[in-house]
Amino acid sequence: MPDRPDESPTESAAAPERRPRLVSAQDVDDADDVLFAHPPRVVRRWLCECGVDYPCTDVRFALLVKSSAEAGE
């Protein structure tokens, strides 16, 4: 009886371990095509002085107040 579950008496020590393939050759080719078609790109964004994306909620509210005041004139 084996001491550990991975020690099986029917397995020989000289036999190479055969694991099933998780992906096919076609899957690898398709993955290469997707990676070629979707390269990374640099994205620029504006940040508010408070550290969040511009316009932050305070700026949006201030712009709403100003546009409402200008529309009422």
Alpha-carbon 36 to chain mean position:
16
Q: Kindly report, residue by residue over 16-42, the tens digit of the pLDDT.
A: 678 888 889 999 999 999 999 999 999
What is the average pLDDT across 52-64? 94
Q: Would you state the pLDDT for residue 72? A: 76
Model-level pTM? 0.44
Rounded CA-CA distance 32/25 in Å is: 11
**Which 3 state secondary structure label does DSSP give 55?**
coil
Confidence of residue 8 (pLDDT cuts 50, 70, 90): low
The sign of the CA dihedral 4, 8, 12, 17 is negative
